Structure 1
Amino acid sequence: MAVLSASTLLLLLQDAVRVGTLVALLLLARGVLWLAHMMVIAPPFDPLRKLPGPDAPALQNHFREVMDPNISPDTHHDWVGRYGKMFRFHGFGRHDYRLMAFDFRALSHILNSPIYEKPWQTRTFIARLLGRGVFSMEGEEHKIQRRVIAPAFSTSSVKAMAPIFFQKAEELRDRWLALIHTSSTSPTAVQQQQPIPSTNKAGQSVIDISHWVARATFDVIGLAGFDYHFHALQDESEDVYLAYRKMFNVQDKGPGLKAIVSLFFPIINTLFPDDGLRTTKESLRTINEAGKRLVANKKAAILAEKASAQDIDDKDILSLLIKQNLSEESSKRLSDVELLDQLSTFLFAGSDSTALSISWCLHLLSLNPEMQTRLREEIASLSIASPTGASPTGGALKADCIPDSGFAETFSPLPAPPTHPSSTIPSDSSAAHCDAIDALPFLDAVVRETLRLCPPVHGIIRVATQDDLIPVSSTVHMRDGRVLSQDEHIKIKKGSYIHVPIEGLNFSEDVWGKDARAFNPERWTALPASARHPGLAGVMTFSFGPHSCPGWKFTILEMKIFIASILPHFVFSPAEGVEIRKFNAILTRPYVKDHWDEGTKLPITVTPYCG
C-alpha cells in the first residue's frame, strides 16, 4: 500500500508538472501573441500612422525630446514648424504612435470630452503617492470629488486664507534677513548651507530660494489646508514634513526602468524592494497615520459643533471639505479614507507646485533687474499698511537701514510663531490689503508671465477610451499626400495616447509671438487674439475643462502675496558662476548645472534693499 501510495504521488506530481508546463507555455504564447500584435500587427492599422511626424528606429523613443525641459522647447518649435499643429511621434518604440496637439480646437475637444482620461499607469503612480484623490480619479468618482472640494477653492474661501499667506511671507522675509545677518558675522556657517561653494559679500548672501520657499509654502498648506502647524520655517523636524520630503526626494531622482516596469507588473516591488521603495512606504505610513488623526479630530469637532449649535468659523480647507461633504446626499459623500486622500493631494499640490512658481518668479526677476525694480516700485506705491501690523509692505522699509528690520547690530532671534497665526491679523485689514495687492497690474502680469514660462507641470497625457474623431482648426498634411481641412477630423483609436504639451503651448510663437521664450510681463497688457485661449489665468499652466487645477486661485493669490511681501525688502541677482537648469520629476524643478546629484536647488544672491 505504501509503494502504491508513493507511485500515486509520483504520478500526481508528474501530472502537476505537465499542467504547470502547459500553463507556462500558454502564458508564454499569449505574451508572444500580445507582443506580436502590439509591435507588428496593430501598427499598420493605427490611424495615427498616417499623420506627419518624426520617424525613429524600431526600439527608439522620443520621450527625452518631448519631456526634458532643457531640450523640449527646441523640439516643439522644430516639430511644429515641420509638421504643423497636429502630429504623431513615437512612444515606447516605432510601433507606439502618440498624438501631440498644439491645435486649441482639438485640445478643447480632448480636455472636455469624457472619452479621454488619464492613463491607468499615471493614475496608479499618483495613487501610490497621494491616494485616490481628485488627481487620480476619473468618471463619476472624479465628478463627486470635484463637487465636494469646489467650495473650499472659491474666491471667498481663498481670500479668507490670505492672513496665513501674509504671515508666512513675512516670517520667510525675517528668516532671510537673519541668514544674511549671520553671513556677515559668520560667513563659514552660511556657506555650509549653500548648494555649492560661494563667497558671500558683506550684507548679502547666496540663498537656496527653492528650499526656503518650499518650507514656507509647506507651513501655509498646513495651516490653510488643515489648521496644522508644521513650523517648517522655524525647524525642519516635524515628522510629517520630514516624511513628505524624504518621499519626494526619492521621486525627484526620476523613474528608473524598474519603476516603469513595476507599473505593469506590481509584484516586482514585492519581490525586489529597494531603499527608495522602503523610504516611500515608511513616509506614506507616517503621513497617513497623521492624516487619519487630523480627519477624525476635525470631523468630531464639526459634528460636536452641529450638536451644540455653535458657529465656529473654521476656514481651513479640511473643515470646509468636511462640512461640504456632510451636506451632500449620503450616496455622494466621501468616506474618511477618501477625505484622507484629498488631504494628501492638497499637501502636494498646495506646497510644492506653489513653491516652485514663487521660486521661478524670483529667479526670473533676478535675471531682469529693470523689471524687478519696476515691480518693487509698484508694490511700494501701496499706501495701506501690512495686515500683520509689522512694517509697511512698501519701500518705506529699509531692511538693513533701520534697527527694527531684523538686520542691524541690535539683531535678536525671531520670536516663536503664534499658536493661531490667522487670529492675530484683523480680517478687515487683511481683506483690504489682499484686494490692493491682487489689483496691482504689473504684479499680476509678472505672476502670469512666470506661470507661462515656468509651468510646474511640463505636460499631461490622456488616453482615448474609445474610437473617436478629433476636430482641427488648421490643415493637416497627411503622410499619404492628403490634406485634412478645418472641416475634417483626425481619427484616433481606442487606447491611443495624446500628449498635451503645456510648456510647448506656453512657448508657442504662433500664440505668443516671436519673443515667446522671453520674460516679458508687458505682453499681458495687450494680449494678441491668438493668446486669448480658454486656459485658466490666460495660460495652459492650469489646463482647462473638468480636470483643470481646482486650486489655481489659491496658487495665484499666494504667489502675489509672497512676492509683494518679500520684494520690497530684497534685491535678487544671479549667483556668481551658477547656471540654473530644469528637470522633470512629477513637477518641473530647478537644479544647478553639473550638480544634478544634489537635487532641487535654486541659489540666488539676496541683498537687503535700502532704497
Structure 2
Amino acid sequence: MPTPLTLLLWSIVLLVGRGLLWIVNLLVISPLFDPLRKLPGPTAPFFYSHIQRVVNPDFSATQHEEWKKKYGKTFRYHGSGKFDYRLMTFDLRAVSHILMSPIYEKPRVTRTFLSTMLGKGIFTTEGAEHTFQRKIIGPAFALQSIKTLTPIFLRTAEELRDKWDEIISNDEHQIDVCHWVSRATFDAFGMACLTYNFRAIHGETEELYVAFRKMFDLADRKGILRILVPVLDKLWPDWIARAVRESRQVIYATGRRLISERKSTIIVEKGSSKVSNEKDLLTLLIQSNLYNNDSTRTLSDPDLLDQISSFFFAGSDTTALSLSWSLYYLALHPEIQTRLREELAHPTTLDSASSSSSSHEDRAYDILDSLPLLDSVVRETLRLAPPVHGTLRVATQNDQIPVSEPITMTDGTVVAPGGYISIRKGSIIHIPIEGLNYAKDIWSEDTLKFRPERWSSLPPVAQPPNFPGLANLMTFSFGPNSCPGYRFTISEMKAFLSVILPHYTFSIPEGQIISKRNGLFTRPFVKGKSQMGVQLPLVVKRVDECDPL
C-alpha cells in the first residue's frame, strides 16, 4: 500500500505534468490548429507582443494604416506572444457581424475587473441579463428624457463659468481644464442621475463625491496581475482593493437611502398609478423597473445601485474627457474657436434656455441641436479623441465571419468578397475604435486633422447604412453593447460649450505638448511631465478682455 508521502509525490507529479501539458498545448499545439494562423499579419519573435503597437496612441494612429496597406482590412496580430493570434478587422461587414452577434462577448477578465467597482451593471453583464437590463434603463436615456436634462447641463456649466471668473485674475490664467471639467460633469451627473448636488465645482469634499472619485481614479492603477487574477483582491487585498471596497460601502449606503426616498415618491396601485414629477435618471429607472411588463422579473435595489455606478463611471469621466479634448482642439485652431463663438453668440441662441420650466426644456435641446458648427465640433472631437481607444470581444463558440473585402491568406488562397473567415471558440477580436475613426478610406487622407466642416459633407461610406456606428461614429459602438447614453454625452458637451465659449478664449501654453495615454479611458497629459498625472492646462482669457481683432 502506498504511503501518504508517495501519494503526495504522485499528486505533485500529476499536477506538474498537467501544467506542462497545458503549457505545451497553449504555446505549441493549439496555435497549429488556430484558423487565424492562416490570416495575413505581422510576424515577431515567439514571446513578442504587438499590443503596445495596437493600444499606445504614440504608435496606433499610424500603425493601423500601415498594417492595412500591407495585409488588407482583416488580419491577425500577436497578443501575449506569437502563440496568441488575435483578429483585427476594419471590414465594416465583419465588424457589424461581431458586434451584433450574441456569440461575441466582452472578455470575462474585463467584466470581472469592472464588476469589482461597478457591480453587475449594464457594462459587466452579457446575454439575457444584459438584454433585460438594457430594456429597463432604455427609458432613462430616451430622447425626451435627455431633453428634460439639458437645462441641468446648462445651469452646471454656468456654475463652472462663474467659478472660473473668480479664479481668473488680470488678463488670463492657466487652468487645468481636464480637472475642472471633471468636477463640473460630476455635478451635472449628480443632478441628472440622482437630483444630488455634489458641489464639486465649489470644493472636493462631499463624501459621496470623494468615494466615487477615489474608486474611479484607482481603476487605472490596478496592476495587471490583479486584473488577470481578481480573486487576489479578496485573498490578499492591497491598499487599492481596500480603498475601492471602502468607497463602495459609502456609495451603497448613500445609494440605498436615495432609492428609498425616491420610491416613496412613486405610488403604485393596482389598475392606476401616480408617477413622480422628478426627472432624474434614478427616478426614471425605478419607474421603468416597477412598470416593467415582465412582472416576474425586476431589478433589486443593489442592481439599481450598480446601474447608477455604471452611469457615473462610463458617463461622467468620458464626457469630461471629451469636453476637455474639444477645448484643446479649439485652442489649437483659434479660427474655428472664433467661428463657433460667433455662432453661439446669436441673440436667440439660449435666452432663458436654462430655465427648468417644461416649455424651455425642449427649446434648449432643440436650439443646441440646430447649431451646425457646434454639432460638427462635438462630433469631430468624439471622432479624433474617443474616450475608449478600442474594445475586445471573445468568441464563445466556433463561427464564420463574413467579409466584404478580399483577403489573401498566407497559403496563397483568397477569400473573396462575400466569403467567410473561420474563428474558433476562445479567440480574441480587437475592435479598433480609434482605428475606424481614423480610417483614411472612410474619412479621407486628412483623417488626423481636426476639421469639423467634414461633417457637412460626409463621404458615402461614412453615412448610414454603410457606416453602422451610432452618430456616424465608432466612438459609441453599435449593436447590443452600444453606449445607451450617447445622446446624454452629446447634449452635455453642447450645453457646456455653449456657455463657456462665449465668455472665454482658450490657447495652448507656450512650449507645451499634450499627449494621450490609454488606460480604461484615453486621458491627456503634458509631454515631459507624465509624473504629474492627468492634466490638460490651457491659457484661459475672458472674451471681453481680449484684444480687438
Deviations 1:195-217 (Å, cap 9, x if unpaired)? xxxxxxx3110100011111111
307 and 299 in structure 1: CA distance in 2 versus 1, 3 angstrom threshold = farther
Deviations 1:526-557 (Å, cap 9, x if unpaired)? 10012121110111000011110000001001
Picking from 231, 235, 240, the partner of 1:276 is: 240
1:378 partnered with 2:343:
yes
Q: Which moved more, 1:165-174 or 1:276-285?
A: 276-285
Picking from 325, 330, 346, the partner of 1:365 is: 330
Q: Which amino acid aligns with 2:131?
A: K
Q: Which position in structure 1 is the counterpart of 2:318? A: 353
Deviation at 1:272, TM superposition (A): 3.6
> Residue 305 of structure 1 contacts residue 311 of structure 1 at CA under 8 Å; is this kept in 2?
no
Distance (Å, rounded) in 2 between the aligned partners of 1:153 and 1:439:
20
Picking from 60, 74, 84, the partner of 2:48 is: 60
Q: Which position in structure 2 is the counterpart of 1:415? A: none
Q: Which moved more, 1:331-340 or 1:203-212?
A: 331-340
Q: Which position in structure 2 is the counterpart of 1:163? A: 151
Q: Which amino acid aligns with 2:147?
A: K
The correspondence of residues 392-411 of structure 1 with structure 2, limited to 5 A, is none
The correspondence of residues 304-323 of structure 1 with structure 2, limited to 5 A, is 310-323=274-287
Could you tell me the TM-score, scaled by structure 2's length?
A: 0.95
The correspondence of residues 400-549 of structure 1 with structure 2, limited to 5 A, is 425-532=356-463, 533-549=467-483
Distance (Å, rounded) in 2 between the aligned partners of 1:88 and 1:100:
6
> Residue 163 of structure 1 contacts residue 427 of structure 1 at CA under 8 Å; is this kept in 2?
no
> Residue 246 of structure 1 contacts residue 283 of structure 1 at CA under 8 Å; is this kept in 2?
yes
Deviation at 1:30, TM superposition (A): 2.0
> Residue 266 of structure 2 contacts residue 275 of structure 2 at CA under 8 Å; is this kept in 1?
no
> Residue 265 of structure 2 contacts residue 276 of structure 2 at CA under 8 Å; is this kept in 1?
no
Q: Which position in structure 1 is the counterpart of 2:125? A: 137
Identity among equivalent pairs (%): 50
Aligned length: 541
> Residue 144 of structure 1 contacts residue 332 of structure 1 at CA under 8 Å; is this kept in 2?
no
Q: Specify the SS of the correspondent of 2:425.
A: coil
The correspondence of residues 41-190 of structure 1 with structure 2, limited to 5 A, is 41-180=29-168, 184=169
Deviation at 1:433, TM superposition (A): 2.7
Q: Which position in structure 1 is the counterpart of 2:532? A: 598
Picking from 177, 181, 190, the partner of 1:222 is: 190
Q: Which amino acid aligns with 1:60?
A: Y
> Residue 353 of structure 2 contacts residue 363 of structure 2 at CA under 8 Å; is this kept in 1?
no
Q: Which amino acid aligns with 1:289?
A: A
Distance (Å, rounded) in 2 between the aligned partners of 1:166 and 1:339:
27
1:577 partnered with 2:542:
no
Q: Specify the SS of the correspondent of 1:205.
A: strand
Q: Which amino acid aligns with 1:178?
A: E
1:247 partnered with 2:215:
yes
Distance (Å, rounded) in 2 between the aligned partners of 1:35 and 1:177:
62
Q: Which position in structure 2 is the counterpart of 1:409? A: none
Question: Rg: which structure is higher?
Answer: 1
Q: Specify the SS of the correspondent of 1:54.
A: coil
Q: Which position in structure 1 is the counterpart of 2:296? A: 331
> Residue 205 of structure 1 contacts residue 606 of structure 1 at CA under 8 Å; is this kept in 2?
yes
1:259 partnered with 2:223:
no
Distance (Å, rounded) in 2 between the aligned partners of 1:221 and 1:333:
24
Deviations 1:433-466 (Å, cap 9, x if unpaired)? 3211111011111110000000001001001111
Q: Specify the SS of the correspondent of 2:392.
A: strand
Q: Which position in structure 2 is the counterpart of 1:286? A: 250
> Residue 350 of structure 2 contacts residue 367 of structure 2 at CA under 8 Å; is this kept in 1?
no
113 and 231 in structure 1: CA distance in 2 versus 1, 3 angstrom threshold = same
Q: Which amino acid aligns with 1:361?
A: S
Deviation at 1:301, TM superposition (A): 2.9
1:295 partnered with 2:263:
no
Q: Which position in structure 2 is the counterpart of 1:25? A: 13
Q: Specify the SS of the correspondent of 1:425.
A: coil
1:341 partnered with 2:275:
no
Deviation at 1:382, TM superposition (A): 4.1
Could you tell me the TM-score, scaled by structure 1's length?
A: 0.85
Distance (Å, rounded) in 1 between the aligned partners of 2:13 and 2:297:
47
Q: Which amino acid aligns with 1:360?
A: W
| Structural RMSD (CA) | 1.9
> Residue 119 of structure 2 contacts residue 306 of structure 2 at CA under 8 Å; is this kept in 1?
yes
